[in-house]
Amino acid sequence: PWIHGWKDNPALGGGLVYEGVEETGGAPQAFRGQTGSQSSIVPAMDALLSVGHAADPLRTFLDELHAYRPPAHRRLIEDVRAASHVRAFVEASGDAGLKTLYNENVSKLARFRTRHLEYAASYINKQASQSAGNDPDVGTGGTPFMKYLKKHRDEAEAHLLPV
Protein backbone atom coordinates (compact mmCIF):
# COMPACT_ATOMS: atom_id res chain seq x y z
CA PRO A 1 0.00 0.00 0.00
CA TRP A 2 2.97 2.37 0.43
CA ILE A 3 3.36 3.36 -3.21
CA HIS A 4 -0.38 3.29 -3.94
CA GLY A 5 -1.46 4.78 -0.63
CA TRP A 6 -4.58 3.75 1.18
CA LYS A 7 -7.23 6.03 -0.17
CA ASP A 8 -9.75 3.98 -2.15
CA ASN A 9 -7.69 0.88 -1.34
CA PRO A 10 -10.09 -2.03 -0.69
CA ALA A 11 -7.45 -3.83 1.38
CA LEU A 12 -7.51 -1.04 3.97
CA GLY A 13 -11.18 -0.17 4.09
CA GLY A 14 -11.65 3.38 5.33
CA GLY A 15 -7.96 4.06 5.74
CA LEU A 16 -5.20 3.53 8.26
CA VAL A 17 -5.33 4.41 11.97
CA TYR A 18 -2.27 6.27 13.21
CA GLU A 19 -2.04 5.28 16.85
CA GLY A 20 -0.76 8.02 19.13
CA VAL A 21 -1.46 10.84 16.69
CA GLU A 22 -3.81 13.08 18.63
CA GLU A 23 -4.79 15.24 15.67
CA THR A 24 -6.55 12.32 13.98
CA GLY A 25 -8.57 11.35 17.07
CA GLY A 26 -8.10 7.67 16.31
CA ALA A 27 -10.06 7.99 13.08
CA PRO A 28 -8.80 6.13 10.01
CA GLN A 29 -6.89 8.33 7.57
CA ALA A 30 -6.93 7.77 3.82
CA PHE A 31 -4.03 9.26 1.86
CA ARG A 32 -2.96 8.93 -1.75
CA GLY A 33 0.27 7.14 -2.54
CA GLN A 34 3.47 8.63 -3.83
CA THR A 35 3.45 10.14 -7.27
CA GLY A 36 5.52 12.59 -9.23
CA SER A 37 2.28 14.54 -9.61
CA GLN A 38 2.96 15.98 -6.16
CA SER A 39 5.77 18.06 -7.66
CA SER A 40 4.96 21.74 -8.05
CA ILE A 41 6.98 22.30 -11.23
CA VAL A 42 4.49 21.29 -13.93
CA PRO A 43 1.46 22.91 -12.24
CA ALA A 44 3.50 26.11 -11.90
CA MET A 45 4.33 26.01 -15.61
CA ASP A 46 0.67 25.35 -16.48
CA ALA A 47 -0.26 28.35 -14.34
CA LEU A 48 2.38 30.62 -15.87
CA LEU A 49 1.50 29.68 -19.45
CA SER A 50 -2.29 29.63 -18.77
CA VAL A 51 -2.57 25.98 -19.77
CA GLY A 52 -5.87 24.65 -18.48
CA HIS A 53 -7.23 21.14 -18.28
CA ALA A 54 -10.87 20.17 -18.66
CA ALA A 55 -12.45 18.14 -15.88
CA ASP A 56 -11.60 14.43 -15.87
CA PRO A 57 -10.56 11.88 -13.22
CA LEU A 58 -6.87 12.79 -13.53
CA ARG A 59 -7.65 16.49 -13.07
CA THR A 60 -9.69 15.63 -9.96
CA PHE A 61 -6.77 13.55 -8.66
CA LEU A 62 -4.27 16.35 -9.37
CA ASP A 63 -6.51 18.91 -7.66
CA GLU A 64 -6.62 16.63 -4.61
CA LEU A 65 -2.83 16.30 -4.62
CA HIS A 66 -2.54 20.09 -4.63
CA ALA A 67 -3.56 19.97 -0.96
CA TYR A 68 -0.56 17.69 -0.25
CA ARG A 69 1.95 20.32 -1.37
CA PRO A 70 3.75 22.53 1.12
CA PRO A 71 1.63 25.65 1.78
CA ALA A 72 4.18 27.96 0.14
CA HIS A 73 4.12 25.85 -3.04
CA ARG A 74 0.32 25.91 -3.13
CA ARG A 75 0.32 29.67 -2.69
CA LEU A 76 2.90 30.16 -5.42
CA ILE A 77 0.92 28.11 -7.94
CA GLU A 78 -2.34 29.83 -7.02
CA ASP A 79 -0.77 33.30 -7.16
CA VAL A 80 0.89 32.62 -10.51
CA ARG A 81 -2.38 31.23 -11.91
CA ALA A 82 -4.27 34.31 -10.72
CA ALA A 83 -1.70 36.88 -11.85
CA SER A 84 -0.17 35.45 -15.01
CA HIS A 85 -1.17 37.20 -18.17
CA VAL A 86 1.75 35.92 -20.23
CA ARG A 87 -0.39 34.19 -22.85
CA ALA A 88 -2.81 37.12 -23.18
CA PHE A 89 0.08 39.60 -23.39
CA VAL A 90 1.91 37.60 -26.04
CA GLU A 91 -1.27 37.01 -28.02
CA ALA A 92 -2.25 40.69 -27.93
CA SER A 93 1.26 41.86 -28.84
CA GLY A 94 1.07 40.55 -32.38
CA ASP A 95 4.83 39.99 -32.12
CA ALA A 96 5.75 36.81 -34.01
CA GLY A 97 9.02 36.49 -32.07
CA LEU A 98 7.22 36.56 -28.72
CA LYS A 99 4.66 34.05 -29.98
CA THR A 100 7.47 31.76 -31.11
CA LEU A 101 9.14 31.96 -27.69
CA TYR A 102 5.84 31.33 -25.91
CA ASN A 103 5.16 28.35 -28.19
CA GLU A 104 8.63 26.95 -27.49
CA ASN A 105 7.80 26.89 -23.79
CA VAL A 106 4.40 25.30 -24.34
CA SER A 107 6.02 22.73 -26.65
CA LYS A 108 8.60 21.87 -24.00
CA LEU A 109 5.83 21.40 -21.45
CA ALA A 110 3.99 19.11 -23.89
CA ARG A 111 7.24 17.23 -24.63
CA PHE A 112 7.75 16.71 -20.90
CA ARG A 113 4.25 15.26 -20.70
CA THR A 114 4.99 12.97 -23.65
CA ARG A 115 8.16 11.70 -21.98
CA HIS A 116 6.31 11.24 -18.70
CA LEU A 117 3.66 9.26 -20.54
CA GLU A 118 6.36 7.01 -22.03
CA TYR A 119 8.03 6.45 -18.66
CA ALA A 120 4.72 5.84 -16.91
CA ALA A 121 3.60 3.35 -19.54
CA SER A 122 6.91 1.52 -19.33
CA TYR A 123 6.90 1.42 -15.52
CA ILE A 124 3.25 0.44 -15.10
CA ASN A 125 3.41 -2.20 -17.83
CA LYS A 126 6.63 -3.62 -16.36
CA GLN A 127 5.00 -3.84 -12.92
CA ALA A 128 1.86 -5.39 -14.40
CA SER A 129 3.87 -8.16 -16.02
CA GLN A 130 5.43 -9.07 -12.67
CA SER A 131 2.20 -9.69 -10.77
CA ALA A 132 -1.28 -10.83 -11.71
CA GLY A 133 -2.83 -8.23 -9.38
CA ASN A 134 -1.34 -5.21 -11.16
CA ASP A 135 -3.69 -3.57 -13.66
CA PRO A 136 -1.66 -2.19 -16.60
CA ASP A 137 -4.31 0.44 -17.28
CA VAL A 138 -4.22 1.98 -13.80
CA GLY A 139 -1.43 4.24 -12.58
CA THR A 140 -0.16 4.76 -9.04
CA GLY A 141 -2.84 7.41 -8.56
CA GLY A 142 -5.60 4.94 -9.40
CA THR A 143 -6.50 6.67 -12.67
CA PRO A 144 -6.57 5.20 -16.19
CA PHE A 145 -3.33 7.04 -16.75
CA MET A 146 -2.69 6.53 -20.47
CA LYS A 147 -5.96 8.11 -21.56
CA TYR A 148 -5.67 11.12 -19.28
CA LEU A 149 -1.94 11.72 -19.59
CA LYS A 150 -2.42 11.88 -23.37
CA LYS A 151 -5.36 14.23 -22.92
CA HIS A 152 -3.37 16.57 -20.67
CA ARG A 153 -0.49 16.57 -23.15
CA ASP A 154 -2.90 17.35 -25.99
CA GLU A 155 -4.46 20.16 -23.95
CA ALA A 156 -1.02 21.71 -23.52
CA GLU A 157 -0.36 21.48 -27.27
CA ALA A 158 -3.74 23.13 -27.92
CA HIS A 159 -2.37 26.27 -26.24
CA LEU A 160 0.12 26.93 -29.03
CA LEU A 161 -0.48 30.34 -30.55
CA PRO A 162 -0.73 30.89 -34.30
CA VAL A 163 2.38 32.74 -35.48
How many Cα atoms sit within 13 Å of 133 on the Cβ side?
4
Residues 52 and 8 in one domain: no
Are 141 and 61 contained in the same domain? yes
Rounded mean pLDDT, 1-30: 76
CATH code for position 80: 1.20.58.480
Does pTM surpass 0.85? no
Same domain, 24 and 45: no
Same domain, 56 and 18: no
3-state secondary structure of 32: strand
Which range of residues forms the domain containing residue 18?
Answer: 1-31
Q: Are residues 125 and 143 in the same domain?
A: yes
On whether residue 88 sits in a domain, the answer given is yes
pLDDT score recorded for residue 143:
57
Residue 142 has pLDDT above 60, yes or no: no
- Say yes or no: 97 and 81 in one domain: yes
23 and 68 housed in the same domain: no
CA angle (87 as vertex; 82, 92 as ends), nearest 5: 120
Percent of the chain with pLDDT over 90: 40
Counting other chains too, the contacts that 7-14 makes at CB distance below 8 Å and 24 or more residues apart are: 7/31, 7/32, 7/142, 8/142
* Extended beta strands in 7-158, E state: none
- 139 within a domain of the structure (yes/no): yes
What pLDDT band is residue 80 in, cutting at 50, 70 and 90?
A: very high
pLDDT tens for each residue of 81-100: 999 999 999 999 999 999 99
Q: How many domains does the chain have?
A: 2
